[in-house]
Amino acid sequence: MAQQRDPLDRFYSVIPAGGIGSRLWPLSRADAPKFLHDLTGSGSTLLRATWDRLTPLSGAHRIMVVTGRAHRAAVEEQLPELEDHNVVLESEPKESSAAIGLAAAILRRREPEVIIGSFAADHVITDVRGFRRAVGEAVAAADAGYIATIGITPTEPAIGFGYIRCDGTLGIDGAPSATKADTFKEKPELSVAKKYVADGNYLWNAGMFISRADLLLEQLGKSQPDLLAGLEELAEAWDTPRRGAVVDAVWPRLPKIAIDYTVAEPTAAEGRMAVVPGDFDWNDVGDFAAIGKLHARGRASDLAILGEGARVLADASSGVVVSQTGRLISLVGVKDIVVVDTPDALLVTTSANAQRVKSVVDALKLSGRSDIL
């Protein structure tokens, strides 16, 4: 299956820019999802930073973005280099199997031997060199006939991530550190997470998948033949005038399911999943505690302040403040606090409770307050 030319020449980046990031409410909203925010204080949105991380790998001409219709304008504003043929708009959210599968199906028709790599639009990686090294190995593994993923070396027994158990080295040319992915593990309990970290053979599942598009679709079709058929129907019409009509007919009935279940787990069970250890920093910025960690960089007592023109007066306080209103925010003696000040909603919680923010969003949904979501 190996090609003569550099497999990176056949590489295409796919950025699914979907999830709202409910645990970052009220900062992240339906109309201002997580990937459109600068959560690191770098001056770039997460989407833009993702783009900038991928252009050296695939070139700006070979990055496809899959996003909701509602976010088209914002995405194009963030990514002026994004080419029209690389924009895939979802009429409604359908989870990662449909989003990445559609990109794979479209790109495969355009370029049968394409290798795609999908990377979330809302994760943070600062060690760009380490990231590129790992992607390079993953592309080599994909070229060798594997579906590859990049597993992050755990730095703590996190319970917010899934884990990948690694088996023996695969000995792939150009991918010396790639090992076989044995099993994918759901988010564990703390005691289990501690065992994983102590064991040394478990990596965090960062949701990065690198594969020949045809292999990915083949694997997807094994577990979800109807989904694959729908995606192929869409892809066939995509670069034709029929696109709109077919999208309206097909997309709404596609199942919502994560690619971990439809592709990654079954492929691992077949022994065709490779994992490249990602020995770089990675943060999925899943909640406000993660934002605090990003900013604190180890200094636990610090206060992270996000928001242009934020005015914060803090006395013996630490945690995270997000300011969108320009109001004066005063903190007195509050430790590990999370304050998110937006024009129509205020959140006050603590780092330890950051994962529970989703419960507020759920309560608002139930009470019909979608205007504020």
From the list 122-130, 252-260, 269-277, 361-369, the region that binds a copy of itself by CB under 8 A is: 361-369
Pick one of 169, 200, 343, 365: the residue that binds a copy of itself (CB under 8 A): 343
Give the angle subtended at the CA of 285 by the CAs of 66 and 37, to the nearest 5°. Answer: 60
Residues 319-338 that bind a copy of itself (CB under 8 A): 327-334, 337
φ/ψ of residue 179, rounded to 5: -120, 170
Listed residue (210, 185, 208, 182) closest to 268, CA to CA: 182
For the CB of residue 326, give the shortest distance to a copy of itself in the complex, in Å: 9
Residues binding a copy of itself: what is the number (CB under 8 A)? 33
From CA 353, how far away is CA 248, in angstroms rounded? 41
Pick one of 348, 365, 366, 368: the residue that binds a copy of itself (CB under 8 A): 348
The answer to whether residue 1 forms part of the interface with a copy of itself (CB under 8 A) is: no
From CA 347, how far away is CA 329, in angstroms rounded? 13
From CA 46, how far away is CA 42, in angstroms rounded? 9
From the list 14-22, 35-43, 51-59, 310-318, the region that binds a copy of itself by CB under 8 A is: 310-318
For the CB of residue 159, give the shortest distance to a copy of itself in the complex, in Å: 16
φ/ψ of residue 371, rounded to 5: -60, -25
The answer to whether residue 344 forms part of the interface with a copy of itself (CB under 8 A) is: yes
E strands, 85-178, are 87-90, 115-118, 147-152, 163-169
Q: What does DSSP say about strands 87-90 and 63-68: parallel, antiparallel, or unpaired?
A: parallel
Pick one of 128, 192, 258, 372: the residue that binds a copy of itself (CB under 8 A): 372
Q: Which residues contact 211 (CB under 8 A, 6 or more apart)?
A: 104, 115, 116, 117, 142, 146, 147, 148
Pick one of 106, 350, 368, 370: the residue that binds a copy of itself (CB under 8 A): 350
The answer to whether residue 302 forms part of the interface with a copy of itself (CB under 8 A) is: no
From the list 122-130, 218-226, 256-264, 343-351, the region that binds a copy of itself by CB under 8 A is: 343-351
φ/ψ of residue 352, rounded to 5: -65, -25
The answer to whether residue 341 forms part of the interface with a copy of itself (CB under 8 A) is: yes
φ/ψ of residue 50, rounded to 5: -65, -45
Listed residue (235, 207, 263) closest to 18, CA to CA: 207
Q: What character string, x for contact with a copy of itself (CB under 8 A) and - otherwise, covers 22-61? A: ----x-----------------------------------
φ/ψ of residue 51, rounded to 5: -55, -50
Q: Which residue carries 């501690």 as its tokens? A: 194
Which two three-digit tokens encode residue 156?
Answer: 């703590």
Q: Which residues contact 120 (CB under 8 A, 6 or more apart)?
A: 15, 16, 50, 206, 207, 208, 284
Pick one of 346, 365, 366, 370: the residue that binds a copy of itself (CB under 8 A): 346
From the list 176-184, 249-257, 272-280, 313-321, the region that binds a copy of itself by CB under 8 A is: 313-321
From the list 98-106, 208-216, 274-282, 308-316, the region that binds a copy of itself by CB under 8 A is: 308-316
The answer to whether residue 72 forms part of the interface with a copy of itself (CB under 8 A) is: no
From the list 7-15, 61-69, 239-247, 354-362, the region that binds a copy of itself by CB under 8 A is: 354-362
The answer to whether residue 315 forms part of the interface with a copy of itself (CB under 8 A) is: yes
Residues of this chain that bind a copy of itself (CB under 8 A): 26, 313, 315-316, 327-334, 337, 339, 341, 343-350, 352-353, 356-357, 359-360, 363-364, 369, 372
